Amino acid sequence: MAKKTMADVDVKGKRVLMRVDFNVPIEEGRITDDRRIVQAMPTIKAVLERGGRLILMSHLGRPKKGPEDKYSLRPVAEHLRKLVNECKAVPDPHTPGRNVTDLHVMRDPDEKLAEGHSNVIFAEDCIGPQVEKAASELRDGDVLLLENLRFHAEEEKNDPNFAKQLAKLGDVYVNDAFGTAHREHASTFGVPQAMQGKPRVIGFLIQKELKFLGDAIGNPQRPFVAILGGAKVSDKINVIQKLLDKADTLLIGGAMAYTFFLAQGKRVGRSLVERDKVELANNLMQKGADKIKLPVDTVIASEMTDEAQTQVVEGDVPDDMEGFDIGPNTCKAYRDEILKARTIIWNGPMGVFEKEPFEDGTQEIAEAVAQATEQNDAISIIGGGDSAAAIEKFGLADRVSHVSTGGGASLEFLENGHFSTLDILD
């Protein structure tokens, strides 16, 4: 997907309307994980370093009945203000050797900010006269963060009038929210349509996502190993079918493995399975007999708690027990496959890694992926969602090639190779 990026647009003195994904966890008004904000900073700082007037729009959570305090982006504005004004130089991704410096260099160092005026401003809504006024009064180097888009039901409905009101705010449109790029919402689809004739480009985060995921599917270095886990076969049917044509090996883990076991005629006890997908699992195994690898042992327990007493079994799971993780022999077999790989895609944990008795399988796989990246120069892509949470939990995010910012988005991109929201951009 060859797309123009923000680096291809002159933003000096222009209002840049950027869709970001600031859907971050907030507890008691405090952001507990700012990874998604930090990952948007290269594009944000590059706009501001060029003298753009930045307007950021995002969603947060799933509000059902209009505005709710717990879903307000106000805490994000406070956190963003700190990040934006940090004096640490951030590498400029489009000009080697150059840095995106602190925003205050955009203005005369002796200039005083007007009373009540900050270079990061929070809007109480995302549309309406007050928002339009705030956008029109922005100065070069200012940031305006709009309130949660989903406080308006029209956002998820891609309402054209709502999209037009948002589109009025900008002279340039930038999409840098990979995590929502697979959704045809107003901010991702209707707004760029309404801004036809104006520059409509992607940010550096989406550029990075498209490069890693696009290269992995279109031109992978081999051997190409795909690791798929999570709860349901139904969530990953299309990805499995796609990867059977692309990958050399598919390693299956997580609860979805028990549906495959059922298809093999094994007893699975109380393990989570999709009985209506057994025939599908059987068809997939027949089609990918030479590629699909299933666990050879499994960690079982009678309950999913931090204090659970575990056993390792090969074959059948007793009727009163449940499988929660891949076993040590599976870890060793999967590790051997991973350490031979030159391209690795991982989407979905191997077990209930949030609980200590069932974290070993996911941690072993994470460490193997990191080792393959460092020792074999393998390209390793962690497909967002729970896989990203796991790689962060085990402190390995910096030892893999790329951690995707979109769980569902990365799956859809692996399936289809494009998004309609990006197809319409320049």
Catalytic residues: 36, 232, 385, 408
Q: Are 146 and 125 in contact (CB under 8 A)?
A: yes
What lies within 8 Å, CB to CB, of 92 at 6+ separation is 42, 46, 49, 98, 99, 100
Strands (E), 46-109: 53-57, 90-91, 99-100
Residue 318: CB atoms within 10 Å: 14
Q: Are 249 and 288 in contact (CB under 8 A)?
A: no
Q: Angle formed by the axes of helices 35-49 and 74-84, to 10°? A: 60
Distance CA 273, CA 255 (A): 7
First-to-last C-alpha distance (Å) of the chain: 10
Distance CA 43, CA 20 (A): 10
Distance CA 228, CA 2 (A): 28
